[in-house]
Amino acid sequence: MERDVQYVGQSTAFLDAVERASRAAPMRRPVLVIGERGTGKELVAERLHRLSPRWGEPLITLNCAAMPETLIEAELFGHEQGAFTGATRARAGRFEEADKGTLFLDELATLSTGAQERLLRAVEYGEVTRIGSSRPIKVDVRIVAATNEDLPRLAAEGRFRADLLDRLSFEVITLPPLRVREGDIHVLAEYFGRRMATELGWEAWPGFAEMALRAMEDHQWPGNVRELRNVVERAVYRWDDWERPIAHMVFDPFDSPWKPALAPRADHAAPAAAPSTAAAAPPGTLEQVTDLRAAVDAHEKAIVEHALGRHRYNQRQTAKALGLSYDQLRHCLRKHGLGDKAG
């Protein structure tokens, strides 16, 4: 499992999780890694292996969700020739491949009931039996498992074996989502941005404009660090002028005025709403307004800043996009102190 990203971050929540992984690494006991998609569960699994006495032995990975239920047990425990249709030769499973090393089971919650039962025996007794064989094979494997599911809840509902959960939860490391990692969004954005600029051969790193930093800070990042990396690298690659700070971020790469529209179903067809020329402000925002003129000016400034970034500081294109004359835009830039940002 090779990763081209490193541990980058400074928030307490993130550093605590890394420290927990470092402390658990020398142990032979199983570890569960819990976290939303994109939080770095694979990196923690690799850290647990590399900092353990098993670092020179194999680190074998299996994404349990990527395997059909009919094949997952054969993939984990191996099979003998003729054990089932298509088994033309004997094959060692992931447990045997990981002997003396670490087996990383990603998407653990998707394992079938049968696979959970066999996994429990392998963890408890340190032996596996290939499908089609009656001879158990001794293995010395450290289990690291990851999921984004609430395993105790699944166990209470009977959808995950409680006894297996007990065996695997010697240590549980829960990774914080990016939205609660205070200060890490800027740190990660700089890291990924500089790497992308180097890849593109830029002569210098211009950084991000204030409006772009605000937009990243306000975004909820459902895809966490993986999503942030895509957004930042896309913004850098689409930015043409490395001498100006990057000012335009595209959070949804599928957002386009020409994207295909879903045809309405006949039984749920509803009259189309009249197009709106401006997005309505959230009710909570309206209730917080105590100075109308300042609120209007701040909103106007944010709109102009966004349009400038979108059009790479080209004032004539920005004016056209906003329905303004060139002179009107210039007046607006001076009014909000944006003249230096838009040459």
Q: Predicted confidence band at 278 (pLDDT cuts at 50, 70, 90)?
A: very low
Six token digits for residue 29: 């006991």
The residue behind tokens 């800043």 is 305
pTM of the model: 0.76
Higher pLDDT, 288 or 73: 73
**pLDDT tens for residues 244-266?**
999 999 999 998 878 787 766 65
Q: How far is CA 58 from CA 63, 89, 102, 115, 308, in A?
A: 16, 23, 6, 22, 52
Q: Are 139 and 96 in contact (CB under 8 A)?
A: yes
Q: Are 75 and 94 in contact (CB under 8 A)?
A: yes
Q: Over 70: is that where the pLDDT of 279 sits?
A: no
| CATH 1.10.8.60 domain position(s) in the chain | 182-257+283-335
Nearest to 249, CA basis, from 177, 184, 183, 186:
186
Domain 182-257+283-335 is found in CATH 3.20.20.70: no
Instruction: Please provide residue 145's backbone torsions phi and psi, each rounded to the nearest 5 degrees.
Output: -125, 150
Distant-in-sequence, close-in-space partners of 188: CB < 8 Å, separation ≥ 6: 8, 9, 178, 225, 228, 229, 232
What's the confidence (pLDDT) of residue 332?
A: 81
Q: Over 90: is that where the pLDDT of 298 sits?
A: no
Q: Are 111 and 155 in contact (CB under 8 A)?
A: no
| CATH 3.40.50.300 domain position(s) in the chain | 12-176
Q: Predicted confidence band at 285 (pLDDT cuts at 50, 70, 90)?
A: low
Q: How far is CA 182 from the centre of its chain?
A: 17
Q: Which span out of 97-106, 130-139, 234-243 was modeled with the highest average pLDDT?
A: 97-106
Overall average pLDDT of the 37-49 stretch: 96
**pLDDT tens for residues 66-125?**
888 878 988 899 888 877 777 778 889 999 999 999 999 999 999 999 899 999 999 999
The residue behind tokens 């088994």 is 87
Domain 12-176 class in CATH: alpha beta
- Distance, in Å, from the CA atom of 54 to the CA atom of 317, rounded to the nearest integer, reads 59
Q: Over 50: is that where the pLDDT of 207 sits?
A: yes
